[in-house]
Amino acid sequence: MKIAISGKGGVGKTTLAAMLAYLFARDGYRVTAIDCDADINLPSALGLAEKPKPLSELHEIIEKRVVGPMGMYKLNPKVDDVFEDYSVYNEDGVRVLVLGTIEKGGEGCFCPENAFLRAILRHAIFKRKDVLILDMEAGIEHLGRGTARGVDLLIAVVEPGTRAVETLERIEKLGKDIGIERIAVVVNKFIESERARELVGRIKYPILGFVPYSECFVRADLENLPPYRVCDVKPFEEIKKKIEEIVE
Ligand SMILES: Nc1ncnc2c1ncn2[C@@H]1O[C@H](COP(=O)(O)OP(=O)(O)O)[C@@H](O)[C@H]1O
Ligand SMILES: [Mg+2]
């Protein structure tokens, strides 16, 4: 299954991506996690000391593989060797790749990077028990239709706040624009209050779960420890279960 995680900066996308990657791997899935955010911090959240080299920096390889002789575009460029070479495994067996920043192009963008990324994403999934997790920015339009095709679920992470709930609608629209139909929400940094409940009540998408506000996550980040090593994984186990129900 392919899961894309989106939302405003700082809401907890990378925390969720790392937690889910850990839990799926723990339960026997083969997990590939790709950091698609300009702020590259998924590798450290997954306990890697060094960041894998961003795929988008492979300009020459990308050009050569995607743009053939006489400027012909290849729709299925060869990527398997690059995929292997640029994957780094963490100690739980999660395969981590970093996309880096790719040129933003609208609908119909034929940047070689996009064609290459598409091929990479296709390559990441071959078995039923494979999970691909994309940690993305709020602006996901640069992925383009072709790349997003086959994403089973777009998870929007929100904090219970008026602005966050407004952003949701934009994320849904962006998802639709690139052909992702299924969207669900994770409410993060939840602090119980009447007002928070009321705001959450306005969300018209399925809610996968609530993660309480906890200083543990801040401490984990501060000490550069993966959140699943030091914080409560229970809310994320619930979220994972819901994802399995929705997607399978
Ligand atoms: N449930 C939570 N409670 C408290 N702090 C959190 C929670 N989830 C994430 N954080 C903290 O918020 C900050 C941003 O989280 P991060 O996952 O990096 O967000 P994003 O990837 O969306 O920018 C980090 O310092 C993280 O530790
Ligand atoms: Mg992040």
Name the phi and psi angles at 132, rounded to 5.
-115, 125
H/E element, 114:
helix 112-123
Q: State the ligand closest to the CA atom of 9.
A: 1
- pLDDT confidence of residue 96: 96
The closest-lying atom of ligand 1 relative to the alpha carbon of residue 41 is 18
Check whether 118 has a pLDDT greater than 90: no
Select the more confidently predicted residue: 201 or 104. Answer: 201
The closest-lying atom of ligand 1 relative to the alpha carbon of residue 188 is 1
Domains of the chain: 2-247 (3.40.50.300)
Check whether 107 has a pLDDT greater than 50: no
Q: State the average pLDDT for the chain.
A: 87
Name the phi and psi angles at 157, rounded to 5.
-95, 130
11 in ligand 1 pocket by Cβ < 6 Å?
yes
Check whether 136 has a pLDDT greater than 90: no
Determine the Cα–Cα distance for residues 81 and 72; give it in Å rounded to an integer.
Answer: 22
12 in ligand 1 pocket by Cβ < 6 Å?
yes
The best mutation among 37, 213, 221, 236 to test binding of ligand 1, ranked by most ligand atoms within 8 Å of the C-beta, falls on 221
Ligand 2 centroid to Cα of residue 136, in Å, is 7
Ligand 1 centroid to Cα of residue 67, in Å, is 39
Length in residues, the chain: 248
| Cβ atoms of 157 and 9 closer than 8 Å | no
- pLDDT confidence of residue 114: 74
Check whether 108 has a pLDDT greater than 60: no
H/E element, 157:
strand 153-158
137 in ligand 1 pocket by Cβ < 6 Å?
no
Q: What is the pLDDT of residues 48-69, one digit of tens each?
A: 998 888 887 888 888 888 888 7
Ligand 1 centroid to Cα of residue 227, in Å, is 10
Q: What is the pLDDT of residues 137-154, one digit of tens each?
A: 766 666 666 666 678 899
Token pair for 68:
């053939």
